[in-house]
Structure 1
Amino acid sequence: MWAGRVGCRRGSAGQGDPTDTAERQEGPAPAMEGRQCYDLLVIGGGSGGLACAKEAAQLGKKVAVLDYVEPSPRGTRWGLGGTCVNVGCIPKKLMHQAALLGVMIRDAPHYGWGVAQAPHDWATMADAVQNHVKSLNWGHRVQLQDRKVKYFNVKASFVNTHTLCGVSKGGEETLLSAEHIVIATGGRPRYPTHIEGALEYGITSDDLFWLKESPGKTLVVGASYVALECAGLLTGLGLDTTLMIRSVPLRAFDQQMASLVIEHMAGHGTRVLQGCAPERVEKLPGRQLRVTWVDLASDRKDAGTFDTVLWAIGRVPETASLNLEKAGVRMNPVTGKILVDAQEATSIPHIYAIGDVAEGRPELTPTAIMAGRLLAQRLSGQTTDLMDYNNVPTTVFTPLEYGCVGLSEEAAVARHGEEHVEVYHAFYKPLEFTVPQRDASQCYIKMVCLREPPQLVLGLHFLGPNAGEVTQGFALGIKCGASYQQVMRTVGIHPTCAEEVAKLRISKRSGLDPTVTGC
């Protein structure tokens, strides 16, 4: 979003040295001709940045947002709203729903509906999804206007600690300064540039959700939640899909749950190549791509042809063109992310970073939104509350959804020791799966608790339908310090999948079969 160099002309009066330590720490921005002044400047028009800007404006601050979308290598561009709105959560969930509908259509005859299975029409789906995203782009523009937040469609870079230079698409430059500056530029998908043909012929999630035509036979490379979600929805839409994983899937998540997710995908149409790495992508006569890969265990090479190669191997923070060195803002040299403290402040006290661009923060839209709002409230003197990044719930929207909150089993054991951790678990069958005789072998729940009474709940992991809806409710209880005994005294809603959480009676330690039987 912010790639590319920005050269900004500076006024002649009283400029001083923008890297001077005293000026960075104490003094206001030096005088610059034609400068526009604000209480708060927000770089980045994604979820966190917009939330921060709107909250600050509502609390009486003079605020401006600077946002610019650098086109992807394939030329894809989009409007205001950041990754989540345009190329992430929103289009992903809608396409995931399209894939789930395909499964429901196959179930429908078992319930008495005379519904014929028809091939999926990508163009119709894409048009509907993209129109909804454009409506959200417009909605964000209207909201900024209503809140009296000034919007600049410019690429921003630091001139000094209080001043930014914004360059428009046409090259026009604008100088803006503020008492406080918030960096919320997010990240963009990583390309494996060491692989021949990767950049020339591959796409990323930045492109997938804006394709007008079906990607056809697709190779998805990666082990992240983005990789699994994309591969899952493409399979669900009836496309020949291969998922190539170099090492372990969903590395940051509970590994038992990750394995069950992969098992379900492999058993329901997605070809999974685990322990493999691509080496070359070549364009064949026509539109197809030939991909050569290596099996890392045997060192055996193989190849296949695909219509589309989708890279989902991680994301990189959008910091390269911000000229952070002009402001003295420190970054992690390995990750490229900005170092922040509990106040979201960088190494320069009046410059902040929130969301995916900040080191050590979860790359999740809701956390960025809440962090942005709390920051605006602190800057306005409304609160001293800090963002709490513990027990943040999330869901991976794979064909069988995986919701979780709190610690994984591995993290709990590492923190407390195996002898102090009790895990309650169950394999269950959703009632809706029974009539169409749908496979439920991977529907699984586990609750990770301290072993000592009252057995504080450390984490909950749910694999099954509507995992996000289920996890959201239990997240409140866990956030409030719920114990295993309290969950067991909670009356379940029958018949639901969520009630199975309140019926977890079998521990892993017991060795008993955790398969739920009966109603």
Structure 2
Amino acid sequence: MKMKAPFLPPMSLGLRCLKNVGTTRIESSLLYSTTTAQKYDLVVIGGGSGGLACAKEAAGYGAKVAVLDYVTPSPHGTVWGLGGTCVNVGCIPKKLMHQAALLGKSVKDAAAFGWSVPPAELQLNWHQLVTAVTNHVGSLNWGHRVALRDKRVTYLNASGTMLDRHTVLAKDRKDVETVLQTDNVVLATGGRPRYPTFAGAELAITSDDLFRLRQPPGRTLCVGGSYVSLECAGFLTGLGFDTSVLLRSIPLRGFDQQMAGLVVSAMENLGTRVVRGSEPLRLERTAAGRLRVSLTPSGDGQPPDEEYDTVLLAVGRDPDTRRLGLDALGVTTDRRSGKIVTDPGNRTSVDNIYAIGDIVQGAPELTPTAIVSGRLLADRLYGGSSQLLDLATVPTTVFTPLEYSCVGLSEESAAEMVGGDDQLEVYHAFYRPLEFIIPGRDTSSCYIKAVCERREPQRVLGLHFIGPNAGEVLQGFAVAMRHGMTMESLRQAIGIHPTSAEEVVKLNISKRSGRDPTVTGC
């Protein structure tokens, strides 16, 4: 049987960059003595969801494309493969561990439905869980490499620095350098967790490390009110670990705050401890190997010092742009966030350099928007398209134990947009998922609301859902929102019975009415 030659990215073996006046030569002890720098139509720096989508789409139009991807190890030495945050240390491992926690809860519920489930036999094997998750992530890493090969995209496992607007210097882990000449550049390097400045912060881990911990995390403190913090705290609690969340101010900043409060309340009811109004002062390792955390006074009786096995920092993310050489090129960034400023077409202040994904100022830090943004950019560059990304109705889900999904505006943002609360009509309902009733699960946070313009035809500005499978419930409604869904069109839809989703189309009680929004009956 004839064997296929292995896929070797051009100029990725033993190459050293030598600069001459006016030209660039590449010297290689393995391939050729000298050769000129490779020329590309497009170089994408960053192999996450957005960068890969852009590269593959551009290659589909016949463009010659290279992708550079390099992961700087976390302070604890964690690295990963091609695919970016979502695949490796974000959406995918998070959802799998969330599912593991839900399964544990379901097994406990099973007894109420007649199953014989000895509680003593219900134990988590952390090593087995982490192995299963990392094996799946590894398969995705390989799948991305194969997809690039099939599209004839050059892949370099190297960091990229802009030498000038048309020249990219790639450097791999062994400091082997490769020079690429290109017409266009797309920056898609994503973000990395932010480390606060308190003493001993380097002893803590972040979400970059959590999904690859070799040992169970034990008693854990999650610092921050971000969705990352709440999601991690939620599944760790569900997996049986004593877990606390430290909130300096509000949870889920940028989300609807009524919904955020219900999410946190549901977590507390499921066993996660929430410490409010405090932040770390100092972190130090004890003689026994634990982490002693000193906190600012919280006013709620929280001890000033407590010991944990693991402290996870989730206080925000910063754009991973420091090594790109943006200042020398004059690429404009936002002073406060450090993110890259672009026009609606993703063009930066340098007209052949583009940016997509989490590093773009004002862009949602969401995988699906990065993917669509990357594809649309390639369509505009090489396919003659003029279509721009529409961010008006982007849905998202927070995968806390009781999931929260939303599309459109929060109640606060909607009120600001229309000129005050009196210009809104908010329809809402507390409901009881059928599957929660027999095992006696708490349903006090199962809640839906539609934030609408008060004037007819009462266009829905924001739709919010807390409950099981929230993302699955709201995905279809997001399509309707894009097409101007009104309360009348929502009510005309026929529900699927018995589901939690049908409660959305049955919404009929407004906050303004003062009536009890609790759903009764089936």
Instruction: Give the whole-Å Cα distance in 1 for the aligned partners of 2:18 and 2:392.
Output: 44
Aligned pair partner of 2:175 in 171, 177, 182? 171
Instruction: Give 1:418's aligned residue.
Output: 421
Instruction: Give 1:119's aligned residue.
Output: 123
Residues 67 and 153 in structure 2, CA contact (< 8 A), matched pair in contact too: yes
Range with bigger deviation, 81-90 or 323-332: 323-332
- Residue 116 of structure 1 aligns to which amino acid in structure 2? P
Deviations 1:385-404 (A, max 9, x none): 00111110000000000000
Instruction: Give the whole-Å Cα distance in 2 for the aligned partners of 1:499 and 1:285.
Output: 56
Instruction: Give 1:68's aligned residue.
Output: 70
Aligned pairs for 1:196-215 within 5 A? 196-199=199-202, 201-215=203-217
Residues 12 and 33 in structure 1, CA contact (< 8 A), matched pair in contact too: no
Instruction: Give the whole-Å Cα distance in 2 for the aligned partners of 1:172 and 1:34.
Output: 16
1:145 aligns with 2:153: no
Instruction: Give 1:84's aligned residue.
Output: 86
1:291 aligns with 2:280: no
Instruction: Give 2:9's aligned residue.
Output: none
Alpha-carbon distance, 1:346 to partner:
0.3
* Secondary structure in structure 1 of the residue aligned to 2:280: strand
1:371 aligns with 2:373: yes
Aligned pair partner of 1:381 in 369, 373, 383? 383
Residues 376 and 388 in structure 2, CA contact (< 8 A), matched pair in contact too: yes
Alpha-carbon distance, 1:9 to partner:
5.9
Range with bigger deviation, 45-54 or 410-419: 410-419
Q: Could you say what the CA RMSD is over the residues aligned between the two structures, in angstroms?
A: 1.5
Alpha-carbon distance, 1:419 to partner:
1.7
Aligned pairs for 1:190-339 within 5 A? 190-192=194-196, 194-199=197-202, 201-296=203-298, 302-339=304-341
Instruction: Give the whole-Å Cα distance in 2 for the aligned partners of 1:86 and 1:75.
Output: 14
| Runs (5+) with no aligned partner, structure 1 | 1-7, 17-31
Aligned pair partner of 1:459 in 462, 469, 487? 462
Aligned pair partner of 1:402 in 396, 401, 404? 404
Alpha-carbon distance, 1:14 to partner:
2.6
Instruction: Give the whole-Å Cα distance in 1 for the aligned partners of 2:302 and 2:112.
Output: 45
Range with bigger deviation, 398-407 or 261-270: 261-270
* Secondary structure in structure 2 of the residue aligned to 1:159: strand
Instruction: Give the whole-Å Cα distance in 2 for the aligned partners of 1:121 and 1:238.
Output: 11
Instruction: Give the whole-Å Cα distance in 2 for the aligned partners of 1:11 and 1:307.
Output: 51
Instruction: Give 2:21's aligned residue.
Output: 13
* Secondary structure in structure 2 of the residue aligned to 1:497: coil
Aligned pair partner of 2:164 in 137, 160, 165? 160
Per the normalisation by structure 1, the TM-score is 0.93
Cα 1:134–1:300, aligned 2, differ >3 Å: closer, same or farther? closer
- Residue 327 of structure 1 aligns to which amino acid in structure 2? L
- Residue 315 of structure 1 aligns to which amino acid in structure 2? R
Alpha-carbon distance, 1:116 to partner:
2.5
Per the normalisation by structure 2, the TM-score is 0.93
Residues 428 and 511 in structure 2, CA contact (< 8 A), matched pair in contact too: yes
Instruction: Give the whole-Å Cα distance in 1 for the aligned partners of 2:73 and 2:436.
Output: 43
Alpha-carbon distance, 1:301 to partner:
6.4
Residues 447 and 461 in structure 1, CA contact (< 8 A), matched pair in contact too: yes
Deviations 1:207-253 (A, max 9, x none): 00111221110000001000000000000000000100100000110
Instruction: Give the whole-Å Cα distance in 2 for the aligned partners of 1:428 and 1:295.
Output: 38
Alpha-carbon distance, 1:115 to partner:
2.0
Aligned pair partner of 1:502 in 495, 505, 512? 505
Alpha-carbon distance, 1:12 to partner:
2.5
* Secondary structure in structure 2 of the residue aligned to 1:233: helix
Aligned pair partner of 2:432 in 407, 429, 434? 429
Instruction: Give the whole-Å Cα distance in 2 for the aligned partners of 1:490 and 1:315.
Output: 40
Residues 99 and 233 in structure 1, CA contact (< 8 A), matched pair in contact too: yes
Instruction: Give the whole-Å Cα distance in 1 for the aligned partners of 2:335 and 2:261.
Output: 32
1:131 aligns with 2:135: yes
Residues 294 and 301 in structure 1, CA contact (< 8 A), matched pair in contact too: no
| Runs (5+) with no aligned partner, structure 2 | 1-15, 25-33
Residues 220 and 311 in structure 2, CA contact (< 8 A), matched pair in contact too: yes
- Residue 372 of structure 1 aligns to which amino acid in structure 2? G
- Residue 320 of structure 1 aligns to which amino acid in structure 2? R
- Residue 249 of structure 2 aligns to which amino acid in structure 1? S
* Secondary structure in structure 2 of the residue aligned to 1:292: strand
Residues 198 and 281 in structure 2, CA contact (< 8 A), matched pair in contact too: yes
Residues 276 and 298 in structure 2, CA contact (< 8 A), matched pair in contact too: no
Alpha-carbon distance, 1:168 to partner:
1.0
- Residue 196 of structure 1 aligns to which amino acid in structure 2? A
Instruction: Give 1:43's aligned residue.
Output: 45
Instruction: Give 2:6's aligned residue.
Output: none
Deviations 1:70-94 (A, max 9, x none): 1100000100000000000000000
Cα 1:299–1:513, aligned 2, differ >3 Å: closer, same or farther? closer
% identity of equivalent residues: 58
Residues 226 and 253 in structure 2, CA contact (< 8 A), matched pair in contact too: yes
Where has structure 1 moved over 6 Å in runs of 4 or more?
298-301
Instruction: Give the whole-Å Cα distance in 2 for the aligned partners of 1:415 and 1:123.
Output: 49
1:445 aligns with 2:453: no
Instruction: Give 2:29's aligned residue.
Output: none
Residues 48 and 371 in structure 1, CA contact (< 8 A), matched pair in contact too: yes
Residues 294 and 300 in structure 1, CA contact (< 8 A), matched pair in contact too: no
Cα 1:326–1:471, aligned 2, differ >3 Å: closer, same or farther? same
Instruction: Give the whole-Å Cα distance in 2 for the aligned partners of 1:299 and 1:121.
Output: 35
- Residue 269 of structure 1 aligns to which amino acid in structure 2? G
Alpha-carbon distance, 1:420 to partner:
1.4
Cα 1:202–1:163, aligned 2, differ >3 Å: closer, same or farther? same
Alpha-carbon distance, 1:381 to partner:
2.9
